[in-house]
Structure 1
Amino acid sequence: MDYDFFIDLVRFCWHSPVHRSELMNRDNRIKAPAAKRAAEIMKMVASAAAPPTMSEIARALSLGKSTTHNILHTLEVEGWLKRGDSGEYLLGDEFLSLFHARSGTRELVELSRPFLDEVSAEFDLSVCMGTWEGNEVLIRAVARGGGGMKVSVEPGLALPFMTPAVGRAILLALGPGERSALVKKSRLPSFTERSITDSGKYLEEVERSANRGYAVDDEEYLRGVRAVAAPLKAEGAPVGALWAVGFTHSIDELRLRATGEALVRATSLISRLAQ
């Protein structure tokens, strides 16, 4: 199990910021003792050979019984822990669903990396993998190929969902009705003078993208930059996209089409491997 994820997730739910400065040690960074204790309890329950009782948790972590009871009660109410028939504590359904969602994302990222490297090396472009997170697409991994100047892209950057190539690629994996409803309720930003801001015209471009299998951005997001993207699916549902970006002068129509087709093949294989 990913124990660092336990700790970060518990702190997040207690609204406790984690200060990453290397000049501060771990204990000094912890500003909410209750969050630290909750994280320790979660770690103990997850790693115990047998589900522990409240007394065993309190004794192992040197906590008072009332403090232990209060934290366990909160974790149980939130679905992060649950009690067995004999009063022992197990990981709860809500926590497991969050953990599995995180694990699934990480698996997709790792599965995507060799494909990013391959497409980037073949076409000498920056190639990205990102996951759809509501109104954003979060860049999870980037490959930059060989030498030469590249469009700078960094993991951790969040793009607006309606970023032309990326957003349209994800929309390709939705049904026509859901696709139309999502576009019509979304704001279509004017990133450049070439951005499509009319929902009807935007949907027409999505339809053209559907016929190709991939979406194209011709200086709609950044002047002087072209992009091509393909949808990434898990269990038939859209979860993100793979896309390649480069300077307009270095990507002609033939190269754009070949890159798009390579991304479609890559996302298809990744989706099958993730099943």
Structure 2
Amino acid sequence: MSDDRLVGSDRVLAVLTELAKYPEGVTLDEMARVMSSPKPTIHRALASLCRAGLAGRDGRGHYLLGDEFLRMAFAHHEARPDHLRVQPILDRLANRFGETSHYAVLDGADIVYRAKVDPTVGAMRLTSTVGGRNSAHATAVGKLLLSLQLPDEQAVRAWVAEHPLRKITARTAGTAQELHAQLETVRERGFSVDDQENEPGVNCLAVPVFLSSPNEPSGAVSISALSYRTPLSALIEELPVIRSIVAGHVDETAL
């Protein structure tokens, strides 16, 4: 990543963003190489982050995110009303199906995971993380939320013009026409699926969640399953159970 056009606070933020990719820490030389910037420039940015507690150095002299950054991030995440309200839903889904459950929202061309619960049993788990992103057009939660945002083919084509579709797997929608057909199906069914479109061997079913409004979903809840362990057809068969778990919890918190 070159920072030729970055100055001042923009450069510091770019360094902070890059630093987050190295949970085990990174040297000054490595950061300068990745950022394609002189070491003194990167050193000044890292020094600013360290003074603010947003970065630190370990015993090996490697830079990594600071304790203050982690404190703020976790405090903010734990305080989110949607995170607190949706957590019991995810717990029940993960326990019921023995697969990973997510809560995600739409952000431009991506979905962002706000909460995640892994199953208590099963050695193989998914690599998704809270705060992580995936392409909306390739995920069940993304397509469900896009189906509400893009009501017709004209809207889909305009959106695709701004956000070109990437074929993540052989099953991912690669054209506006394909995506439009999928979104129409989502609207007809009231739920969405990802049939190994975002990751080979992983399928997903998503339903909307109405945490703050009875008419507009705050996001979507999904069950992501290893296809050999829980086929997509099995998730679809369990749709009434999934909906009752989601709706039942929302009703309870409203009381």
Give the TM bin, normalised by the shorter chain.
0.5 to 0.7
Q: Confirm whether residue 160 of structure 1 aligns to residue 135 of structure 2.
A: yes
8 Å CA contact 1:228, 1:243 repeated in 2 = yes
Give 1:134's aligned residue: 108
Residues matched between the structures, number: 192
Cα 1:118–1:270, aligned 2, differ >3 Å: closer, same or farther?
closer
Cα 1:270–1:109, aligned 2, differ >3 Å: closer, same or farther?
farther
8 Å CA contact 1:244, 1:259 repeated in 2 = no
In structure 1, which of residues 98, 104, 113 is the aligned counterpart of residue 87 of structure 2?
Answer: 113
8 Å CA contact 2:83, 2:114 repeated in 1 = yes
State the alpha-carbon separation in 2 of the partners of residues 231 and 192 from structure 1. 25
Cα 1:135–1:122, aligned 2, differ >3 Å: closer, same or farther?
same
In structure 1, which of residues 209, 212, 226 is the aligned counterpart of residue 203 of structure 2?
Answer: 226
State the alpha-carbon separation in 2 of the partners of residues 176 and 269 from structure 1. 28
Secondary structure (helix, strand or coil) at the match of 1:152 reads coil
Give the TM-score normalised by the residue count of structure 1. Answer: 0.57
Q: CA offsets, 1:52-101, max 9 Å, x none?
A: xxxxxxxxxxxxxxxxxxxxxxxxxxxxxxxxxxxxxxxxxxxxxxxxxx
Task: State the 4+ residue runs in structure 1 displaced beyond 3 angstroms.
Answer: 14-21, 172-175, 258-275
In structure 2, which of residues 176, 193, 197 is the aligned counterpart of residue 216 of structure 1?
Answer: 193
Q: CA deviation at 1:205?
A: 1.8
State the alpha-carbon separation in 1 of the partners of residues 105 and 167 from structure 2. 23
Amino acid at match of 1:29: R
Q: State how 1:164-243 maps to structure 2 within 5 Å.
A: 164-174=139-149, 176-177=151-152, 181-182=155-156, 184-186=158-160, 187-233=164-210, 234-235=212-213, 236-243=215-222
Q: CA deviation at 1:201?
A: 2.4
Q: CA deviation at 1:163?
A: 2.5
Cα 1:127–1:203, aligned 2, differ >3 Å: closer, same or farther?
same
Q: Confirm whether residue 29 of structure 1 aligns to residue 8 of structure 2.
A: no
Q: State how 1:54-73 maps to structure 2 within 5 Å.
A: none
Give 1:251's aligned residue: 230
Unaligned runs of 5+ in 1: 1-13, 32-101
The two structures, once aligned, show a CA RMSD in angstroms of 3.8
Amino acid at match of 1:217: D
Unaligned runs of 5+ in 2: 1-8, 26-45, 54-75
Determine what percentage of the aligned residue pairs are the same residue.
20
Q: CA deviation at 1:127?
A: 0.6
Q: CA deviation at 1:253?
A: 4.6
Q: CA offsets, 1:13-62, max 9 Å, x none?
A: x65657899x99x995329xxxxxxxxxxxxxxxxxxxxxxxxxxxxxxx
Secondary structure (helix, strand or coil) at the match of 2:222 reads strand
State the alpha-carbon separation in 2 of the partners of residues 197 and 167 from structure 1. 15
Q: CA deviation at 1:214?
A: 1.1
